[in-house]
Amino acid sequence: MPEFSWVERHAFEFRQTDSKPNTCFVLLHGFAGSPAEMRPLGEALFAKGYDAVGPALLGHGINPEALNLVHWQDWVEAARDFLHEERERYPTVVLIGLSMGALVSSIIVSSSEPQELPDALVLLAPALKARDERLKWARWMKYVLPWFPETVRPQAGLTSKDGWKRLWHYEKRPVHALAELYYIQEFAKTILSKVHKPVLVVHGMKDLTVPESSARDVYEGLASRQKEILWLEKSGHCLTADVELDLLVSEIIEFLGRALPSIEK
């Protein structure tokens, strides 16, 4: 077992050393966040006997200024390249994205070559919409205002008293990057009908960042024949660090058992 850091914002790889699992989970974090928010899920899946890896999307886990240097297509292409590497290593690959990471995941699945696709997709709190009204103005405000302060604290909406301590995110948001988030939202709305892989959509009912309607719209827009939606009653936006993590893991594994009967550790 690896020694897990309490707060680690960098990319992680949890790979079994005493066996070679057939399945790997690729975990993509959200906007202005870091792999830290996916690490608890990666740890839990690793404990179940699976491999789990979580890359840092471009511009993340460094400093807020770094987000001003990238566009949403950079997030997609970097994640696609990372998925390609894991696809070559494992017979079965499952892609899990949180918030913006869920949009990146959906775009990858809608536009990749068949041999590059993950076998299944899990979309956690997909950020097709946002409660923050400033987002839709960011594409114009970026020319006159460099930063927005963070208005929702990481612990907001979390039932867990300590879950927020496992998160690492930027304290201020580059308005240029928020405009890119808006653009990826708009693009993601156009490609859901091209997603045909099995998909599990999950949303926390205490989410103060993304409304419930976002998860519903994603679910209804997917072309997948096998799709399910799960509501976690006690979880906030970063449901990977909240009190229902164990339930989330069991539901993911059960869904994959139905969607991919041949899935193995």
Does some domain include residue 71? yes
Is residue 219 included in any domain, yes or no?
Answer: yes
Task: Please confirm, yes or no, whether 207 is among the known catalytic residues.
Answer: yes
- Where the chain has pLDDT below 70, the residues are 1-9, 149-156, 170, 262-265
187 is in an annotated binding site: no
* pLDDT (0 to 100) of residue 265: 62
55, part of any domain: yes
Instruction: Kindly state whether residue 255 falls inside one of the protein's structural domains.
Output: yes
* Residue 2 located in a structural domain: no
Using CA atoms, how far residue 224 sits from 27, 33, 190, 197, 228, in Å, is: 20, 28, 15, 6, 10
Does residue 237 have an active-site annotation?
A: yes
Identified catalytic residue from 99, 106, 110, 160? 99
pTM, to two decimals? 0.91
Domain extent for 150: 12-259
Task: Specify if 6 maps to a domain.
Answer: no
1 annotated to a ligand binding site: no
Q: How far apart are CA 183 and CA 71, in angstroms?
A: 9
**Tokens, residue 55:** 């890359």
pLDDT tens for each residue of 121-166: 999 999 999 988 777 877 777 777 777 766 555 555 788 878 777 7
160: in domain: yes
Residue 43 lies in a domain: yes
Q: What is the CATH number of the domain that holds 149?
A: 3.40.50.1820
Altogether, the residues listed in the chain come to a count of 265
Set 29, 60, 176, 237: catalytic member: 237
Tell me the three state secondary structure of residue 137. helix
Q: How many helices (H) and strands (E) does the chain have?
A: 7, 9
Q: Which of 51, 207, 214, 235 is catalytic?
A: 207
Specify whether the backbone of 156 is left (phi greater than 0), alpha (psi in -120 to 50) or beta. beta
Count of structural domains within the chain? 1
Q: How far apart are CA 105 and CA 17, in angstroms?
A: 28
